[in-house]
Amino acid sequence: MTRSFNQQFDQHGAWRRNFAHRLKWLARWLNENDLLNPAVAERLRELESQMRTSKVKVAFVAEFSRGKSELINSIFFAAYGRRIMPAAAGRTTMCPTELSYEAGQPVSLRLLPIETRLQPHSLTHWRDELSQWTEIPLDIEDAENLSASMNKVAEVRRVPLAEARSLGFWSDDAPDDNPVPDAEGNVEIPRWRHALLNMPHPLLEQGLVILDTPGLNAIGAEPELTVSLIPQAHAVVFILAADTGVTRSDLAIWREHLITEGDTSDTRIVVLNKIDTMWDILSTPAQVDAQIQRQRKGAAELLGVPLPQVLPVSAQKGLQAKIRRDVPLLKASRLPELEAVLGEGLLGKREKMLRIAVDSGIDSLEAEAMRIIKVRQRDLSEQALELQGLRGKNVSVIRHMRSRIEQEQTEFEGSNTRILALRSVQGKLLREVYAVLGSTALKSDMARLAAALKRPGIKFSVRKVYGETFDSLRHNLSEVQATASEIQSMLHATFRQLNAEHGFALQAPAEPDLASFEQQLSQIEQSHVHYLGVGNLLKLAQPDFCDKLVRALASRLRVVNEAAMTEVERWSKGAGAQLDTQLKERRRNFTKRLEAVERIQNAAGDLDGRLAELAAQESGLLELDRRLHEFIELLTSNESPNVAPHNELSAA
């Protein structure tokens, strides 16, 4: 029996919450045992936040009247017993609509007026301009009220051709894509540019984000949707009508807007909707199934996707079946098969990505905690040997030992000059990294691209223009990688010297690998060049289109650069925190050695007592080591913990 998408997402959410709890327990335990340096603590907080708040975005894309909103209703909102997303005949969703949940934000529908397209700002910019949005409070307990509010996304305006042209809904160069004027010469355009729904739906609370997109004409008017929002979705569901198959406009959306970025075997799902139109009492079930199979194969061949990725469904009958609890009708709608594929492909991939991130963080955390434990064990062994050498010695020998420890302490503190020099050079190089990947450098690159795109004439050299821009961006990352290598060499040399002189156990963390960010740049370049090469090249003659395209690109590139800087900064902090921790341990060791000698000097009989204390502390470190491995094993296993967090920590 297949599990619905809702059930799979519930299980995925429970796994994430459980893992986040375990990370929190481990952080508390490490902190209580003084095994948590600032860099590791920050990394743990990042991992916990990632597990709790990471989003899973699914984009639903289709031409008008393909049943897209009905499919969203059937998968996500059947529990309301009615339609929530507008799904009447004709055009319904007129503006891109994002459904998600952010705790602490008002439960509402926010609508961005279409007129904001006249201003030189991206959608990313407008998200922070709350005063520009029309906000409608929602009562999520009242299904009728919620449905009425969501009908707002279908609102339209009729405007003169000049206004439609300025807003991007009329093109003199592509008359076939233009809306039909009425008797007065006005055309229909969306009232809203973008909609954001924030509501505590069970799936949205667990991190699901649904992107409901409008049809071809509306998508084409917002390049940021094509080159930014849709490509960043973890899965794209493309809906066709079973009775018509792949139409010309369907093919245009697929080719122009659903850009393939890398391996998409489990990120592009094609839904052949409205199979109930083929349910014919004059045909046998086998004949109906054969007809559906022919439509599936035809769609798969035209779109160039594997046949298993084309799934036949009746969203309308699936919604009816869920509301009426009609099991035979639900099975006939084939909705459960789609939900199973969507859940397994999307959530399985997302869980794998989270596990990779967590495993990497846990490995570095375990290595650092073990390093601290081993340093303490070594210090205890040295103290024990030092004190055992005092057996039967007179007061002058003990006094001499105290002087020697104080001299070692003075020499050790003298090494701070080298450490300060290391940090100074490290800070200088990091500032160079921020300068290369910072907003000022990116603005300069984007300004050059915009100027090149706005040159007169048709941009047949658009690949070359983009290639030069992205070559520059990739060069920036290569420059940062070279700087990181320079810092790494310096860390290795200084750490080796400190290890030799002071018996430290310093080990430079692995140098950050920025290759994945270069790969992201190549994927973004590919999506832009493909988008412009399949029918949108003529639009580059419009300066406002060029501006929108460059702003959308800049928003996406900023995310890549900031992620790369975060990676470099995390690596740098890891090296600094490791050094700070071992400096702290060594200073504590000097303090304990001096205290021990002073106690023995004042009471000679206290030597055995002090050695017993050291033995007890060594046993305690062995126990810490054992408990650390238990916690790591708990984190890397799939089983639920049998002991409550408080008891786990108390037992430690």
Token pair recorded at residue 24: 């929190």
pLDDT score at 643: 36
Q: Which two tokens stand for residue 17?
A: 């919450």
pLDDT of residue 648: 43
Mean pLDDT, to the nearest integer, of 611-639? 82
Domain range annotation of the chain: 55-155+191-333, 396-602
Q: Give 109's Cβ-side CA count (13 Å radius).
A: 23
Give the bridge partners for 56, in sequence order.
208
- Which residue, 617, 508, 520, is CA-closest to 561? 520
- Range of weakest confidence among 178-182, 244-248, 295-299, 353-357: 353-357
The mean per-residue pLDDT over the stretch 102-123 comes to: 90
User: By mean pLDDT, which of 172-176, 309-313, 608-612 is the weakest?
Assistant: 172-176
What is the 8-class DSSP label of residue 228?
I
pLDDT tier for residue 647 given thresholds of 50, 70 and 90: very low
**What is the average pLDDT value for the chain, to the nearest integer?**
83
The amino acid at residue 488 is Q
What per-residue confidence (pLDDT) applies to 579? 83
Structure tokens at 603: 């009471």
Residue 39 Cα to chain centre, angstroms: 21
Cα–Cα distance measured from residue 14 to residue 11, given in angstroms and rounded to the nearest whole number? 5
User: Does the model's pTM come out above 0.85?
Assistant: no
Give the CATH superfamily of 55-155+191-333. P-loop containing nucleotide triphosphate hydrolases (3.40.50.300)
pLDDT (0 to 100) of residue 182 = 87
